C-alpha cells in the first residue's frame, strides 16, 4: 500500500507532525491528509489516542477514531523518555506543520514550546490548540467539548428554556478543527510569500465566541438573552418541525418577509395571514411564534410528508424531513453524487465520506486507519534513530 500522503493531492510534499487526541486536532489533520499531506500522528505507547477505546462498533475499532484518523501514520513515542524526544525532535526538524491539542502547557514542559520551535525552525508552522488560550484566569483549565459549550453559552440557546441541551454534534471541537485546518492552509500560503512560518494559538472558547455571534449581538445590543425554541431558531419565525398526517415530521422555514408571504399564500392557502400586519415583519412573527406554529401544525397534520414537500418546493419554501442517522447513511443524495469511498483499516476496508471541499481535478486521497504504533520503527529508521528495544504496541514482536 502506498504511504499516506502520496496520492497527488494539493498538499503532497507537506509533512504534518501531530501531538493529538480526541477530536479538534485529529479532525484538522485528517482534512490535511485528505488533501495529500503526510500526517504523522504521535501517540503514547500506553494506549494511544483515548478515542481508540471509546467503543468497538467498527469491526472492533472505535467510531470516533475511524472517522478522525484515516490517512495517517502512527508513531508510538513516550515523550517523557529522552530517546523518544530525540525522535520527535528530528521529525519536527523535517516537518512543515506541527499541530497539538495536549493539556495546557504540555508542549513547553516537554521542551517543545511553540515559540521555541519556530525560533529553531523559522519555516515551521505550529498550531497550538487549547481550551481557553494563554493568559487569563482560565488558561490552566482542561477543556472538553461539553465544558466549552457550557462555558460559552451554546447549551443555553439549545433545547428549550426548561431543558438546555448540548448539540449532538461536538461543535466546539469541530469548529476548532476547521479553524485550525483553515489557518494551516493560510499559513502555508503566507510562507510561500514570506519564507516564514508561524505560531497559531487557537482557543476553543474563542471559536465558540465567534460561533455565538448572533446571540452575542442580541445580548450586547438589546440586553435580552436569546430563548431556545427546541427544533427551531429564536431569530426567525415561523421555522420549526411539524408532525404530518402519515406519522413523519416535516421541517419548514422562512428566512425573509417575502418567503413568509409565499408560505402563507402559496403553501398553506392563507393569504389573510400574509396580509395581516401583525405578521408582516420577522420581529413581529417571532413575538407571535406560538400562534404561527399552531397554524402550521394544524395544516401539516392534515397532509402527508411527500405532499407537503412537493407543495413547498413548488412555492419556493425550504423544507426537509426530520431524519435519523440511519437515514443519513442511506441518503439518496449522497449515493447519487458518489459521496462515499472506502478507507483501509487493520480490520479491512470501511466506508467513509468523501471530503466536503475538493476542487474539480483534485484526487480523493484515501489512506488507511493506522494501528497504534504501526509506523514507529519505519519512522525511527527514517530519522536515523535506533529501533525501540521492545516491540511497539500495535506491531508484532
Catalytic annotation, residues? 173
196 neighbors 123 (Cβ within 8 angstroms): yes
The C-alpha atoms of residue 212 and residue 33 are separated, in whole angstroms, by 29
C-alpha cell at 143: 477543556
Phi and psi at 346, nearest 5°, equal -60, -20
Buried b / exposed e along 324-354 (16+ C-beta atoms within 10 A): eeeeeeeeeeeeeeeeeeebbbeeeeeebee
Grid coordinates in use for 326? Answer: 440511519
Strand order of the sheet with strand 318-321? Answer: 239-243, 249-253, 318-321
Of 87, 80, 16, 67, nearest to 376 (Cα)? 87
By the 10 Å C-beta count (0-12 exposed, 13-18 middle, 19+ buried), 41 is classed as: buried
- Cβ-in-10-Å burial (0-12, 13-18, 19+) of 138 comes to middle
Task: Judge contact between 30 and 110, C-beta under 8 A.
Answer: no
**Half-sphere exposure in the Cβ direction for 312 (13 Å, CA):** 21
The number of C-alpha atoms within 13 Å of 370 and in the hemisphere containing its C-beta is 27
- Do 268 and 250 form a contact (C-beta atoms < 8 A)? no
Q: 375 and 91 in contact (C-beta within 8 Å)?
A: no
Q: Describe the chain by its helix, strand, coil percentages, rounded to 5.
A: 40, 15, 45
DSSP conformational letter for 361: T
Q: CA–CA separation, 62 vs 85, rounded Å?
A: 28
258 DSSP 8-state letter: H
Amino acid at each position: 500500500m502506498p504511504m499516506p500522503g502520496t496520492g497527488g493531492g494539493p498538499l503532497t510534499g507537506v509533512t504534518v507532525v501531530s501531538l493529538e487526541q480526541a477530536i479538534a486536532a485529529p479532525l484538522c489533520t485528517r482534512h490535511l491528509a485528505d488533501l495529500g499531506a503526510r500526517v504523522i500522528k504521535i501517540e503514547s505507547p500506553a494506549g494511544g489516542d483515548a478515542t481508540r477505546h471509546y467503543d468497538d462498533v467498527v469491526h472492533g475499532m472505535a467510531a470516533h477514531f475511524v472517522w478522525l484518523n484515516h490517512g495517517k501514520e502512527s508513531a508510538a513515542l513516550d515523550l517523557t523518555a529522552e530517546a523518544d524526544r530525540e525522535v520527535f525532535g528530528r521529525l519536527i526538524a523535517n516537518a512543515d506543520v506541527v499541530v497539538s491539542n495536549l493539556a495546557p502547557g504540555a508542549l513547553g514542559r516537554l521542551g517543545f514550546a511553540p515559540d521555541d520551535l519556530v525560533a529553531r525552525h523559522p519555516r515551521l508552522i505550529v498550531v497550538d490548540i487549547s481550551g481557553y488560550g494563554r493568559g487569563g484566569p482560565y488558561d490552566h483549565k482542561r477543556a472538553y467539548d461539553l465544558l466549552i459549550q457550557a462555558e460559552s453559552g451554546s447549551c443555553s440557546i439549545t433545547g428549550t428554556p426548561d431543558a438546555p441541551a448540548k448539540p449532538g454534534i461536538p461543535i466546539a471541537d469541530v469548529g476548532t478543527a476547521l479553524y485550525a485546518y483553515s489557518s494551516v492552509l493560510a499559513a502555508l500560503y503566507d510562507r510561500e510569500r514570506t519564507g516564514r512560518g508561524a505560531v497559531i494559538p487557537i482557543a476553543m472558547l474563542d471559536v465558540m465566541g465567534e460561533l455565538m455571534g448572533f446571540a452575542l449581538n442580541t445580548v450586547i445590543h438589546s440586553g435580552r438573552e436569546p430563548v431556545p425554541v427546541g427544533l427551531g431558531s429564536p431569530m426567525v419565525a415561523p421555522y420549526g418541525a411539524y408532525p404530518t398526517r402519515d406519522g413523519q415530521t416535516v421541517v419548514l422555514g422562512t428566512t425573509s418577509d417575502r418567503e413568509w408571504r409565499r408560505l402563507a399564500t402559496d403553501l398553506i392557502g392563507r393569504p389573510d395571514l400574509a396580509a395581516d400586519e401583525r405578521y408582516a415583519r420577522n420581529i413581529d412573527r417571532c413575538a407571535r411564534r406560538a400562534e404561527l406554529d399552531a397554524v402550521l401544525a394544524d395544516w401539516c397534520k392534515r397532509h402527508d410528508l411527500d405532499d407537503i414537500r412537493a407543495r413547498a418546493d413548488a412555492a419556493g419554501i425550504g423544507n426537509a424531513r426530520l431524519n435519523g442517522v440511519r437515514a443519513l447513511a442511506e441518503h439518496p443524495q449522497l449515493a447519487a453524487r458518489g459521496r462515499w469511498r472506502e478507507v483501509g483499516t487493520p480490520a479491512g476496508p470501511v466506508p467513509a465520506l468523501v471530503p466536503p471541499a475538493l476542487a474539480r481535478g483534485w484526487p480523493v486521497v484515501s489512506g488507511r486507519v493506522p494501528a497504534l504504533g504501526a509506523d514507529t520503527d519505519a519512522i525511527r529508521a527514517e530519522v536515523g534513530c535506533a529501533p525501540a528495544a521492545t516491540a511497539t504496541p500495535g506491531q508484532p514482536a
